[in-house]
Amino acid sequence: MFWFNPMYFVFIAPAILLMVWAQYRVKSSYGRAMQIPAPLSGAAAARYILDQAGLHDIQVEPTQGFLADHYDPGDRTVHLSAEVYHSRSMAAVGIAAHEVGHAIQHAHGYIPLVVRNLAVPAAQFGPMLFMVLIILGFIFQAFQLIVLGLVAYAGLVVFQLVNLPVEFDASNRAKRVLSELNIVDANGAIAVRDVLNAAGWTYVAATLQSLLTLLYYVMIFTGGSRNRD
């Protein structure tokens, strides 16, 4: 199928290079910050920040997977990977505070988070629906189905774009509250900043990749339609 042309990888190369660089930064900054001790474990820091924010009903629980930390608005629980949950390090408290930042966003009705949560189905099913519609469009020679496929993929792009301010805001909240509650000192704040900023670049890279992918397919299919005309 021609839409798997190797030129696709050339087209999205900037996003791939950015992601490789971002992942390297995450691993290196995380490794350094894990060596800097913190007064609390990730779990204790998360619990303390939540309690100070009056969010006593939100639970903090360990989860499986490396850096699988996330906040689930469905069960109102901050899930921390085992290393972050138990570790008394700047990396752990920084990541834990970031996830608590999402919980605070949820509690305060932060609009970009609301929009992102509404866009989750588009991000989950959009790429799969895109492929189905594209294949059907070629089988039945129906350009309208191809257009619908592009719209379906655009749902992922919208999710990624909305996700950026959500993630950056959660990191900013984390940096601020860790300093305000004296969980980190000046040197610790630098380590936390490096970890969260590096993680932020992975979201930028993912957004750029989805956007370039959409532009690539739009060029391929709309160009093909003009050639047929």
pLDDT digits (tens, 9 = 90+) for 82-122: 999 999 999 999 999 999 999 999 999 999 999 999 999 99
Mean pLDDT of 66-76: 94
Q: Which of 61, 99, 167, 180 is catalytic?
A: 99
Q: Which helix H or strand E contains 25, and what residues bound it?
A: helix 13-34
What are residue 85's DSSP bridge partners? none
Longest Cα separation, the chain = 68
pLDDT of residue 71: 97
pLDDT range class, residue 68, cuts 50, 70, 90:
very high
69 token code pair = 């930390």
If pLDDT is split at 50, 70 and 90, which confidence band does 81 have?
A: very high
Per-residue pLDDT, 158:
96
pLDDT at position 1 is 46
Q: What are phi and psi of 61, to 5 degrees?
A: -135, 150
The Cα–Cα gap between 114 and 132 comes to 28
- Catalytic (active site) residue 61: no
Which pLDDT does position 4 carry in this prediction?
59
- Count Cβ atoms within 10 A of the Cβ of residue 55 and give its class: 0-12 exposed, 13-18 middle, 19 or more buried: middle
Quick one: pLDDT band at residue 29, thresholds 50, 70, 90? very high
Over residues 23-47, mean pLDDT:
97
